[in-house]
Amino acid sequence: MRPRRRPRATGFQLRAFLPVNFADRLVAAWYARGPTPLTVALAPLAVVFAGAAAVRRALYRWGLLRAERLPVPVVVVGNITAGGSGKTPLVAAIADGLAERGWRPGIVSRGYGRSAHGTDRGAALLVAPDADPAQAGDEPVLLARSGHPVAVAADRGAAGRALLAVHPECNVILADDGLQHYRLARDVEIAVIDAARGLGNGWRLPAGPLREARTRLASVDAVVELVTDAAATRAAWPGAWRMTLAGDTFHRVDAPALTATADAFGGGGVHAVAGIGNPARFFAQLASLGIHAVAHPFPDHHRFAAADLALPGARAILMTEKDAVKCRAFADERCWYLPVRARIDPALVARIEEKIRGSQAA
């Protein structure tokens, strides 16, 4: 068996990072200034992908493929780009906001990357806060920790039915990362953009990061931009709502009740790992807290193993909460995670509620 190549330590100067595999080279090409040989070579496949996606959406729009409508309103949160843009924290924030307004939200997700361990992978699964992320998916476990019922299935409609069967009190469903899952009928669509990365080169997959054309943003009910400073950042999309991610208290992975501030991680010997859609965002957040760590980026939804944390000379290993749920079985006293929560304008939740009530009256 060939040994698994470890991600290269980069420090915080991520522009100096030299990609070590095709996926890294591809993402770098998506966000490069102007066409690259790789994106040009993939352009014919992008045409095919765009055509297939357009036909599929048209079949649902014309009713030739049927979308399932659940007995309660559905709010879909997604994006038109591949990779992370803050969808999961936004779902949790919207669920909390709706709950504060008297709604009883439930959440459905595909549970990307989960395995079935001998069961039917297509079957819906209710997710407990302490569920194994290998079975439920890392993001659904995070959402279950928010206190709202969560169910996962490749078919979000099936996940919704299973959730409502166990939690009939739920009167609104939020779908995490379901913008292109047209099998599930929806009453509200929210698209999220990472303002720092934007839409890349504007090309369709695989020559660019776009799942759907930029014009798709004009058809959603709200566009939300993930920004580092809601007051200072210029809107990349007219009329977009702003979202920031806040968090400055670290928790020990093997003992979450133990906390620490950024001051505890001054000096050398600090490493950071991130297996999220945009690892650079986490490393930059650590830098903003004054933490100078050696950065180890991993692919999104990476299944961490103990060997990934075997970092010689590391006195502290920092990670996201999404990664921590996969490391808790083998983490030691060096491992800490940084929970973040989305901050959004309460008026966005009010707008969503208005759309929900309008769909119920129709």
Neighbours of 256 (CB within 10 A): 14
What's residue 197's pLDDT? Answer: 87
What's residue 19's pLDDT? Answer: 43
Distance CA 243, CA 229 (A): 9
Evaluate if pTM is beyond 0.95.
no
What's residue 232's pLDDT? Answer: 66
What's residue 306's pLDDT? Answer: 95
Q: What is the pLDDT along the chain (362 residues), one digit of tens a residue?
A: 333 444 443 333 333 333 447 777 888 899 998 899 999 999 999 999 999 999 999 999 999 999 999 999 999 999 999 877 889 999 999 999 999 999 999 999 998 767 654 445 568 999 999 999 989 999 999 999 999 999 999 999 999 999 999 999 999 999 998 899 999 999 999 999 998 889 999 999 999 999 999 999 999 999 999 998 766 666 677 789 999 999 999 999 999 999 999 999 998 999 999 999 889 899 999 999 999 999 999 988 889 999 999 999 999 999 999 999 999 999 999 999 999 999 999 999 999 999 999 877 66
Q: Whose CA is closest to 78, among 32, 121, 139, 25?
A: 139
Task: List the structure tokens of 39.
Answer: 């994106």
CB 117 within 8 A of CB 247: no
Distance CA 84, CA 322 (A): 12
Task: Report CA Rg, the chain.
Answer: 20
